Structure 1
Amino acid sequence: MHKLSLPVPGDDALAASSALQQLIIDDICQHQGWIPFSRYMELALYAPDLGYYSGGATKLGKDGDFTTAPEMSSLFGAALATLASHIFTHTRAEIMEFGAGTGKLALDFLSECQLSGIAIDRYFIVELSGELRARQEELLKSFPQVTWLQEMPDSFSGLVLGNEVLDAMPVDLVIKTADGWREVGVAVVDEDSSPRLIYRELAGQLCHPDKIAQIPDADALPVGYLTEVHAVASGFMRSIARMLLKSQGTTAAIFIDYGFPAAEYYHPQRLQGSLMCHYRHHAHPDPFYLPGLQDITAHVDFTAMARAALDEGLELLSYSSQAGFLMAAGIAGLLTRTPADQVMQYLPQANALQKLVSPAEMGELFKVLIVGQRLELPENLLRLDRSHRL
């Protein structure tokens, strides 16, 4: 086991992780001793009953491994609902959320709609995890508009939401060698009769050019440069685009996540990529530590995400920082509903808002990509548009 100074899990959790590691080792053995990193990440996060998102461990909030914006403050979901009220003057009042987690974003969104008289016909949640769906059903039981789906429908007209969903999609790893780009995957070594998962380059062949097509000036990057490419997330964006286009109506999709445009993502100084793991609010770089018990993520290449949607025929409506987006959506005004002299209620909300919009916190690292068709966004949001950076 890797020697990291992290909290020790219980016996049941260790047993589940060991079972998942054996499943991964078996998969590697069935594929001539090597699998792409994206396959490893898929199994570590989504293997039935054992993967991080498909198992039963608590993932979000103070008792989990990381905290998302909706868990931080109900103002986040309320601000999204405020913006949606403008969008619903042009499109059907239907929502489809991916990566709904505990259901907190849906709860805050629908609560704000209820408070402000914003009519919502249906709120779809696409959820593959039975454990997460059960938590969502309990939290959202007072909102009959909510319907759960196990897969993306062929057609949808309305507003798609995805908060921190793209970063959880499996990525491939590639490295620049003296001979060219090679793929880095996962293999197994035996140490003292104990198998251990390791990184290993795919020997004997260079990456197909399509694999590194999204990397600007790939030939100019230094030897030893290791980074991620986002084929799965790009495919997801293409599927979203086809779903929205098939409706032939006015539609939009909002994706909020941490990441960069391609020119920043693949900067020559970002030599080791952005892959990161989260375990009980500790961040570290080892994806092979206790598989199934930790989250594995990579920052989002927003240029690749936008290009995938545009290639299918959607329009790029906006790209902005989370801070600019939330301020344009009216989050500061939502805070003023709580009088400042009610200190016990006001201060926690003000502190959470500061984390959401501060450049030193989430405000600048997190970006908001909006794609759609036949929709004009509010002028105050368009003034903050950074699409030229993509």
Structure 2
Amino acid sequence: MWMSWRTATEKALYADDGFYRHAGQPPRHFRTSVHVSPLFAAALHRLMPDAPQIVDVGAGDGALLAALDTDAHLLAVERAPRPPGPAERIAWAAELPEHIEGLVIANEWLDNIPVDVVELTADGPKLVLVSPNGSERLGDAPEPEDLAWLERWWPLTEVGSRAEIGRPRDEAWAGLARRVRRGVVVAADYGHTIGARPFHGSLTGYQNGRQVSPVPDGSCDITAHVALDSCAASVPGTVLITQRDALRALGVTGARPPVELARTDPPRYLRELRQAGEEGELTSRDGLGGFGWLVHSIDTCIPGAFSARIVP
């Protein structure tokens, strides 16, 4: 059965027997900033330390909320059933609430919103169709609104080049921001901007900690990098900043403790050395630090380093 990559990914990830419907499964397949260190969650919390509510979108196993030291109401939004482990103080829901007041975090959520894949032919862009075993063939031209998105955000100029149509991610980011009455919403993800789109696209799979070919049969995660500039432009006032710069603005620097501390207070030196290692991984330019953050505030002050990165 042939279908678009967007339809196939939706079924493979979110159907009753899909990859993300199996509680506890995804963290076994990939490691995110949340699992590197609780410092990541603490830094995000500093965007709105007085938040009465904190919502984690695409919460996975609930590790981000579990790492927070706060009296705020905690809500994990995840399509999979509640896994064993999260503290009782964390509420669990399959859908977003209509109205939110507080801090909303979507870490590596946008990349798992399914998108269509197109390939440029001599007759223009054509949808790439896929079967459940991963075989592909070309189909019809995309819808007019998708062609318009491609022309604006990912123009294809060479036959054989591919793109992922990011319009569903733009709509998801805008829809998330609209639910926040007062507060801060942040999405952290790997992505690209119009000056550096990948020639063959970025669709891929992950299984058991390794990158694999994307096969839409429910056996692996299927993901694609996010066109972050397009998402940012969908919500006026959105900040686009690298994770490295964002975390540094929030006090996560990766600075090593002074060597003298090893002699005067060895246990403290080891603790701070370990923290520096975790901070270094979170802010590495060639790793997690290269992720992009989309940040949007509503009637809430955020650090000046963020305000300076607002997308026009």
- Same fold (TM > 0.5): yes
AA aligned to 1:222 is E
AA aligned to 2:143 is H
Alpha carbons of 1:241 and 1:84: their partners in 2 closer, same or farther (altered >3 Å)? closer
Match in the other structure for 1:319: 240
The answer as to whether partners of 1:38 and 1:172 remain within 8 angstroms in 2 is yes
Match in the other structure for 1:224: 160
Match in the other structure for 1:99: 58
AA aligned to 1:73 is S
Q: 2: distance between equivalents of 1:99 and 1:381?
A: 24
Aligned pair partner of 2:6 in 38, 45, 52: 38
SS in structure 2 at match of 1:158: strand
SS in structure 1 at match of 2:20: coil
Aligned pair partner of 2:114 in 147, 170, 177: 170
Aligned pair partner of 2:193 in 261, 267, 290: 261
Q: 2: distance between equivalents of 1:68 and 1:220?
A: 31
Unaligned runs of 5+ in 2: none
Match in the other structure for 1:376: 301
Match in the other structure for 2:86: 139
Identity of aligned residues (%): 28
Aligned pair partner of 2:135 in 183, 195, 198: 198
- Structure 1 residue 344: Cα displacement: 4.7
The answer as to whether partners of 2:154 and 2:163 remain within 8 angstroms in 1 is no
SS in structure 2 at match of 1:331: coil
Query: Is 1:149 aligned with 2:93?
Result: yes
Q: 2: distance between equivalents of 1:45 and 1:278?
A: 12
1:52-91 to 2 correspondence within 5 Å?
52-56=19-23, 58-60=25-27, 64-85=28-49, 88=50
- Paired residue total: 304
Match in the other structure for 2:148: 213
SS in structure 1 at match of 2:248: helix
AA aligned to 1:43 is K
- Structure 1 residue 166: Cα displacement: 0.7
Alpha carbons of 1:105 and 1:218: their partners in 2 closer, same or farther (altered >3 Å)? closer
The answer as to whether partners of 1:79 and 1:334 remain within 8 angstroms in 2 is no
Match in the other structure for 1:20: none
The answer as to whether partners of 1:323 and 1:363 remain within 8 angstroms in 2 is yes
Q: 1: distance between equivalents of 2:120 and 2:172?
A: 26
AA aligned to 1:96 is V
AA aligned to 2:183 is T
AA aligned to 1:331 is V
Aligned pair partner of 2:74 in 120, 123, 132: 123
Match in the other structure for 1:192: none
Query: Is 1:358 aligned with 2:307?
Result: no
TM-score, scaled to structure 2: 0.88
TM-score, scaled to structure 1: 0.71
- Structure 1 residue 304: Cα displacement: 2.1
- Structure 1 residue 354: Cα displacement: 1.0
Q: 1: distance between equivalents of 2:248 and 2:293?
A: 12
Alpha carbons of 1:274 and 1:252: their partners in 2 closer, same or farther (altered >3 Å)? same
- Structure 1 residue 201: Cα displacement: 1.0
Which structure: larger Rg?
1
Q: 2: distance between equivalents of 1:358 and 1:333?
A: 9
Match in the other structure for 1:300: 226
- Structure 1 residue 227: Cα displacement: 1.5
